[in-house]
A and B are shown apart, each in its own frame.
Chain A
Amino acid sequence: MVVAQISPPEVTDAGARFLAEVTSKTAGISRLEMCIQCGSCGGSCPSASAMDHTPRAIFALIRAGKRDEVLHSNTPWMCLSCYHCVVRCPQEIEITDVMYAIKTIAEKEHAFPSSVGPDFGGVFIGQAKRFGRSWDLGLTARHYLRHFPLRLPGMTPMAFGLFRHGRIGLLPTRIRQRKQLHAILKRADELERAR
């Protein structure tokens, strides 16, 4: 008698590999493999209409191993971090953190659909790392000059208004132990690269 051999799931499968990659990059436990494709995520998403793919479609693409398509989708960049989907997901998938994980992979490979989102995050974090605090004026000035110069004339009265009301500081605030912070972040960067 011939017994059919049932082989374990192929680890060389592109879908399984990409699923494992995204899962390992997620901060907590993603539970992404539990997705039942119900679409509750897209249905509760306030920015779904601006997305190339709904979150459900992104998860299907991940399992299908469509790595390029996922990394070049604007979906994670349109995520607002409102967590509507997370509390509604019947499988308790950490959807917001999965979106963050996709962004970290896309950032590393410069494989994003538009540079506006990554640049904003990059400038914000560059300043936060350097000073230990975020710096509204430096961030918005640089960001708008680069990506939305046409919005600047409209923004000027607002900037002045905020300045007049003492809500924007001209100079960045710095923490005392910047060296300590930089040492921590340097080591963290090494550890992240080694993963």
Chain B
Amino acid sequence: MSSYLYYPGCSMEGSGRSYRESLESVLEPLGIALEEIDDWNCCGATEYVSLSTTPAYAMIARNLAIAAGEKKNGESLVAACSACYLNLAKADHYMAEQPALNARVNDALGAGGLHYDPGTLRVRHLLEVILTDVGLDKVRAAVKKPLTGLKVAPYLGCMVPRPDVDGAYADHDQPKSLDMLLKALGAEVVDYPLRTECCGGHMNQIAPKVGLELVRRLVSEAERLEAVMMVTVCPMCQINIDAYQGEMNGMFHTKHKMPIVFFTQLMGLAFGVEPKKLGIGREYTNASKVLAKTLKAAPELALAAAGAAPAHRPRPDKRALPMPRMADSEVEE
């Protein structure tokens, strides 16, 4: 069992609680352990860096310094929230790139008896750890109840594939990392072109017309592709799509009801964990109904998904324009 240092971030304790709950229940089947760093603080989201540079990076680096002090084996610091992941990764990256910033941040950290040398840790996002270190084969092996027939839109969001300070993503617009994981769980993954488009971030709070339009685009496209739910890797994306959907419907006179869940929740369901332990039911736009409806029909279809190819090719939609389609094998790996 490999063990990683873990930075949860504020959302995981509050609005993204179901992310934490579901993550905790999938660790064992995945064969990984997360060690939460002691007394971590808020990463400042995108707010502090817009307010004052040195304090913002000092606040982020306090977490890096604590984590580096707790480093035993391995160097990975894992974050599940996309914004926290990016802040930690950027602080490490910029401190290495800009000696002046490094000096100022370490001077400030010194006032609290801390120090951090950039490069000591490798900051990574949970999804990347699961795909690279655990691997899809192990994920497939852990699946007990494949999510057959569950048509989902993979919504990766911005801050994992971009700006990509480590150069881990070859494709910044349409990466298939989340697609691959969801397919390994047996779900039917629609080719969602908005997979890395923005959820609006804090714009729903400061300029609702701008933010809610982005929510509308994401939700209506998922609905057009007949996905029954969206799947995310980020607590910010989750709350923007989930909780602001009502206000968005009011603004655009629409009646969308698109649930959005965390990828760890679907992993848990596929691994046979009880839905309640996964925090399913905490979402504002209810996902339980559609999950119950789809997964009840699943057992008979499960065998087909495990190995055999479908008996016949699905008929193309007659109304659709003749678009080139990506072969499934190409998307798979």
Contact = CB atoms under 8 A, between A and B. Distances in A.
Decide whether A and B assemble into one complex: yes
A189 B52 contact: yes
Contacts of A121: 47-48, 50-51
Contact of B54 (A46, A132, A192): A192
Contacts of A118: 51
B197 interface: yes
Nearest to B48: A125
A86 B105 CA distance: 25
Given A50-B207, A81-B46, A184-B58, A175 B41 contact: yes
Interface in A136-173: 136, 140, 143, 147-148, 151, 154-155, 157-158, 161-162, 165-169, 173
A186 interface: yes
A169 B11 CA distance: 11
A158 B162 contact: no
Nearest to B54: A192
B206 A77 contact: yes
Interface string B31-46: 0000000011110111
Given A29-B98, A143-B205, A83 B57 contact: no
Nearest to B47: A121
A101 B281 CA distance: 41
Give the interface centre of B52, B94, B113 by most chain A CB atoms within 10 Å.
B52
B13 interface: yes
A84 B49 CA distance: 18
A152 B145 CA distance: 42
Binding site secondary structure of chain A: helix
B151 interface: no
B243 A188 contact: no
User: Which of the four size classes fits the interface of chain B?
Assistant: 35 or more
Given A103-B51, A191-B107, A161 B243 contact: yes
Contact of B246 (A46, A99, A157): A157
A93 to B, nearest CB: 11
A104 B62 CA distance: 21
Contacts of B46: 81, 100
A192 to B, nearest CB: 4
Interface string B153-174: 0000011001110000000100
A84 B201 CA distance: 14
Interface of B: 10, 13-17, 39-42, 44-55, 57-59, 62, 90, 93-94, 97-98, 101, 104-105, 107-114, 158-159, 162-164, 172, 197-198, 200-203, 205-210, 214, 243-244, 246-247, 250, 281-284
Given A100-B49, A165-B281, A176-B39, 16 more contacts: A84-B158, A107-B51, A125-B48, A132-B39, A134-B10, A136-B14, A148-B208, A155-B247, A157-B246, A158-B247, A162-B15, A167-B17, A180-B114, A181-B112, A184-B108, A184-B109
Interface of A: 25, 27-29, 46-47, 50, 76-78, 80-84, 86-87, 94, 96-97, 99-101, 103-104, 107, 116-118, 120-122, 124-125, 128-129, 132-134, 136, 140, 143, 147-148, 151, 154-155, 157-158, 161-162, 165-169, 173, 175-177, 180-181, 183-189, 191-192, 195
Closest 10 CB pairs of A and B: A83-B162, A188-B108, A187-B111, A82-B198, A188-B58, A188-B55, A121-B47, A192-B54, A180-B112, A128-B42
11 contacts: A80-B158, A82-B197, A87-B164, A96-B163, A103-B51, A104-B52, A162-B15, A165-B281, A184-B108, A185-B108, A192-B104
